Amino acid sequence: MPLFGKSFSPKKTPPRKWASLSNLHLLDRSTREVELGLEYGTPSMNLAGQSLKFENGQWVSESGSFMGDRRELLRLRKRNQQLEEENNLLRLKVDILLDMLSETTAESHLMEKELEELKLHSRRRK
């Protein structure tokens, strides 16, 4: 014989209210800071010896500029300049090749037209 009767069925719990029961959301920011000591400040972090802080949606160096390895920075600038020059040269080559292709295509179409005209002319003679 079961201990709790035929079947065990607990009562359903009522749905929870979506609103918070805390009254902290009713306080404005200055009151919360005074009452609870919520002084947040700006987020900051330290990466590879460089201090960064989060301002206006971007991470900014606290010293104002990048103070990394000077040699590495110069090497990267030189490499960037080389790549830009190479990119410009390649663009020039592509433009020249496209010009050559369009010229060759135009000549080919002219030759095909002349060939068709010669075929028609030779057929008429026969």
In a domain, 18, yes or no: no
Q: What is the pLDDT of residue 118?
A: 93
Element (H, E) at 45: strand 44-47
Q: What is the pLDDT of residue 89?
A: 97
In a domain, 9, yes or no: no
Q: Give me the number of domains the chain comprises.
A: 1
Instruction: Answer whether residue 94 shows pLDDT above 80.
Output: yes
| Cβ(55)–Cβ(42) below 8 Å | yes
Cα–Cα distance, 95 to 100 (Å, whole number): 9
Q: Of 6-15, 66-75, 93-102, which has the strongest mean pLDDT? A: 93-102
In a domain, 103, yes or no: yes
Secondary structure (3-state) at 46: strand
Containing domain of residue 80, as a range? 42-125
In a domain, 93, yes or no: yes
In a domain, 56, yes or no: yes
Name the DSSP letter for residue 25: G
**27 CB-contact burial (10 Å; exposed 0-12 / middle 13-18 / buried 19+):** middle
pLDDT single digits (tens) 10-60: 788 887 766 566 666 666 777 767 766 666 677 788 877 778 888 888 777
Q: What is the pLDDT of residue 38?
A: 60
In a domain, 1, yes or no: no
